[in-house]
Chains A and B, each alone.
Chain A
Amino acid sequence: MTVSANLETFAGKHVVDFTGAGDISDFGVVAPRLRCEYGETRTLRDVLATMLEAPGVGSTRALVFGLWAENGESYEVSPAPAVELLVSQKDKLPALAALFFGDIISEENEISWIEQGDYSTIWNAFPQLEQFWVRGGNKLALGTIRHRMLDTLVIQAGGLPGSVVREALAAEAPIRHFELWLGTEDYGADTSVTDFADLFAGKLFPGLQTLALRNSQYSDELATALAASPLLDRIRILDLSMGTLTDAGARALAQSGRLGTLEKLDISHHYVSPAAVELLRAATPNLIADDPQQPDDWDGEPHYYVAVSE
């Protein structure tokens, strides 16, 4: 499976493509999306520069960056020039509260090929930022996040490097929604459940409400560790969807006695048997268990695949 659909809304606002003056009359009520087309010559930085000159741009609250490409390809094309311009012109976007870098779909690029950049300059430039979303793990760096407002951090990848996971976990920010698409080793994922020891011990993000560790090859280990974790007692939403959860992880969660306060437990795209799904449902009525999968037995061994990798 791949990500086939572009965003229709972001941060509660309707996403509207901005290609030139006149596309958007009120920047405050929509989420402008800036992006390249393979057939055209404008870079992402060019499109941003155009938007920054548009009248009324200062009221922009949510901003989406889509495909970046140059000379008909995205290979070795970095979002860095656009990030640099965004940071250097930060005063033109004083209301910016939500950023998405990489609203790129499978019809535009493989998620595993998206070339990302270094976002470490964003945090100081936009002290009022509340949401930061990014798709693609290659060359992705977040730097040191010290931020007074950031409450939503979402990193979507087919394979997320441990360096990024550690930067995200080290964020000093009032995080309420923490979401990682961990992905597979084939595409650069090199984390394990031990990377989340401090998080699960309850040492990080005291205001955390939504924990989403999605698209993981070790969903069972995550579920088992979470079942023994005090963190489960204080979050409202646990999302282990798009991953490889089997009966082992499902049973550990069901038997934890800690699901009672969850407003939502999402395990969709899972490998859990109907009997174990029912055990989970008995432990929490707020279970979402759509899209059950069957392991692939191509060499006599069961293989479990995450939802999004390529």
Chain B
Amino acid sequence: MLGAASGPRHDAFARACIDRFGTAPDVIGWDRFLAEPARLAEMLPRRGTLRIDTPDQDVGAIGALLKAGAAAADAAGIETVPEESEELLAQGDIGSPGQVAFGLIAGVELAEAIAHAAEPAISTSAADVACAFDKAQTTKRFAEAGLPVPRVLTGIDGFDALADAMARARMSRVFVKLRHGSAAAGMVALARNGDQWAAMTTAVAVGGRVQATRAVRRLTDPRAIGQLIDRLAPLGLHVEAWVPKIAIAGRTADVRIVWVRGAGPFPVLRTSRYPMTNLHLGGARHPIARLVERIGEEAWAEVEASARRAAALFPASDAIGVDVAVLNDGRQHRLLEANVFGDFVKDLNVAGRTPYDAQLDLVARHWAAAASDAA
């Protein structure tokens, strides 16, 4: 496994491997790999399997990816973080998610090249990572496949441009997201009513930098909102219509559906008091049955079909998490995001099986096939 050498993601996958095979995977952290790429070649058996995962919260790994992504981020016009920024990140600074994404893309490319000779099965590809880590590209790919997505505003480089674009597009409610962001980092749910504005966000600009807080704040001062958007803009924005989501049990809801090649879906219903449903913001998880009961089997089948088609747009990835907003009419839905590392969802299982179990089936099958070929 190439990912975080420790932390919740590492531990969860290692635990699943031990339960299944009696042994933990060989792990190399992103920082170690980027410093010494040849190590990966030494670790990989011929026709083995390579799982690639995110750096999780490992500040050292994130630092290494930031370094690996600096040049590409700079070339793409994305603000980069100062070198030696580990301390900033440890204090809640959101850093530069775009820079991390470019680092991941470069890192996965490098892993593909290094691993190539051993012909392993790799859990994702640089191409899939590049698309899934870019919300603008993901939305475009969904739309081109005929899948329902929110309307998008492009070319937003600051609050003035945003206000203009909203007026021109006749869009009074938007989600401003970091183009390469994950979770709710840097996300702003923004609404305009004449010259009144309201923003819900976890992002706070402190001393010229952006921090993520665990509390959702509501801003109504247009100047403060403008300053925040202007501060976020250099990190790269993706702006889409804020579509009204359905509520379950009195809370705003959306759906994460994880697919694992031929296995799945693994759906989970997420609810929140806030427009963003992330768990660390006090969101809750519920069985999907709550939603299916509400919208009916037919509407749910359409959601599933869309998510299945969306997952298929990332053909190199073993697991893909697709986030879907079911609209408050209970009939329509919109695809919001795809996450090639979206399989880490606490307590997500269907009939006792988790996305990890399904992926370890793939691993076992691959080994069996490799062994029979060798024989």
Contacts and interface: CB of A to CB of B under 8 A. Distances in A.
A266 interface: no
Interface in B151-169: 151, 169
Contacts, number: 67
Interface in A109-123: 109-110, 113
Contacts of A252: none
Nearest to B198: A110
Given A72-B172, A74-B172, A5 B198 contact: no
B372 interface: no
A107 B170 contact: no
Contacts of A110: 191, 193, 198
B250 A72 contact: no
Interface string A56-81: 00000000000100011111100000
A310 interface: yes
B140 to A, nearest CB: 18
Nearest to A113: B193
Contacts of A106: 252, 275
Contacts of A8: 294
B331 A17 contact: yes
Contacts of A71: 170
A277 B172 CA distance: 44
Given A4-B252, A17-B329, A105 B193 contact: no
Interface in B236-263: 241-247, 250-252
A38 interface: yes
A72 B170 contact: yes
B194 A75 contact: yes
B250 A107 contact: no
Interface in B127-169: 151, 169
A73 B244 contact: no
B196 interface: yes
A75 B194 CA distance: 6
A59 to B, nearest CB: 23
Nearest to B191: A110
Contacts of B363: none
A70 to B, nearest CB: 9
B225 to A, nearest CB: 14
A166 B74 CA distance: 62
B328 A107 contact: yes
Contacts of B191: 109-110, 113
Contact of B250 (A4, A17, A38, A310): A4
A105 B328 CA distance: 9
A3 to B, nearest CB: 9
B251 A4 contact: yes
Interface in B282-340: 294, 328-331
Given A4-B251, A17-B331, A39 B172 contact: no
B173 interface: yes
A144 interface: no
A74 B172 CA distance: 8
B46 interface: no
Contacts of A2: 273
A4 B273 contact: yes
Interface string B186-197: 000001111010
Contact of A6 (B192, B194, B247): B247
A108 interface: yes
A17 B218 CA distance: 31
Contact of A107 (B151, B171, B172, B242): B242
A275 interface: no
A2 B252 CA distance: 10
A75 B275 contact: no
Given A39-B241, A110-B191, A6 B328 contact: yes
Contact of B172 (A1, A73, A105): A73
Nearest to B249: A5
Given A73-B172, A107-B328, A5 B250 contact: yes
A110 B198 CA distance: 9
A105 B247 contact: yes
Given A6-B328, A74-B172, A1 B193 contact: no
A39 B246 CA distance: 17
Contact of A75 (B172, B242, B246): B172
Contact of B328 (A74, A75, A108): A108
Nearest to B250: A5
| Most B-side CB within 10 Å, residue of A1, A5, A8, A67 | A5
Given A6-B328, A38-B173, A107 B273 contact: no
Given A72-B170, A107-B244, A39 B252 contact: no
B190 to A, nearest CB: 12
Contacts of A17: 329-331
Contacts of A109: 191, 193
B331 A107 contact: no
Interface of B: 151, 169-173, 191-194, 196, 198, 218, 241-247, 250-252, 273, 275, 294, 328-331
Interface of A: 1-2, 4-6, 8, 17, 19, 38-39, 67, 71-76, 105-110, 113, 310
Given A6-B246, A113-B196, 17 more contacts: A5-B251, A6-B247, A38-B171, A38-B173, A39-B151, A67-B244, A72-B172, A75-B172, A75-B192, A76-B194, A106-B252, A107-B244, A107-B247, A108-B244, A109-B191, A110-B193, A310-B218
14 contacts: A4-B251, A4-B273, A17-B330, A17-B331, A38-B173, A71-B170, A72-B170, A73-B170, A73-B192, A107-B245, A107-B328, A109-B191, A110-B193, A113-B196
